[in-house]
């Protein structure tokens, strides 16, 4: 089975966005690219790339739809996000995963990061992950 190992986020301010993810989620900077910074939690590589409309034949777009982080303490993480210009979009909900064949939510709170990237924050995590 293939594994998701890389997500790229386009931004107009690579340094600011990379700093946000390093500080908010304790990601480590693991490399530099020609157009950005590579971060990782040891399992997933996140590329923070400079927004370059139409470069390399890519469509003109910023970001990804959303990204989710599983954390030890949702409240502490949200508090940290708010100190570095992040904000919550929803109220915190209690998540109790059940049979994955039935529709349900896996995130406990939705937040916003730089460039208004939507970030799901959860202690429980997502179905199908370790």
Structure confidence by residue, pLDDT tens digits, 46-77: 888 888 776 655 556 656 667 888 888 999 99
Determine, yes or no, domain membership for 31: yes
* Sign of the alpha-carbon torsion through 16, 19, 23, 24: positive
Summarised one tens digit per residue, pLDDT across range 90-119 is 888 887 777 666 666 667 888 988 888 888
Global model pTM greater than 0.85 = no
In a domain, 98, yes or no: yes
Domain count for the chain: 1
**Is residue 74 domain-resident?**
yes
Q: Is residue 129 part of a domain?
A: no
Give the pLDDT mean for 27-45.
88
CATH code, 42:
3.10.180.10
Contact 43, 28 (CB under 8 A): no
Residue 127 covered by a domain: no
Establish if 1 belongs to a structural domain: no
Residue range(s) defining the domain that contains residue 63: 6-122
44: in domain: yes
């Amino acid at each position: 089975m293939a594994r998701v190992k890389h997500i790229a986020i386009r931004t107009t301010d690579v340094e600011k966005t990379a700093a946000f993810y390093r500080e908010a989620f304790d990601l480590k900077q693991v490399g530099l690219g020609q157009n950005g910074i590579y971060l990782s939690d040891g399992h997933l590589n996140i590329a923070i790339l400079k927004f370059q409309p139409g470069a390399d034949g890519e469509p003109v777009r910023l970001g990804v739809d959303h990204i989710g982080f599983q954390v030890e303490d949702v409240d502490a993480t949200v508090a940290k996000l708010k100190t570095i210009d992040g904000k919550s979009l929803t109220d915190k909900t209690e998540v109790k995963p059940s049979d994955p064949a039935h529709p349900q939510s896996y995130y406990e709170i939705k937040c916003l990061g730089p460039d208004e990237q939507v970030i799901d924050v959860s202690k429980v995590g997502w179905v199908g992950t370790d």
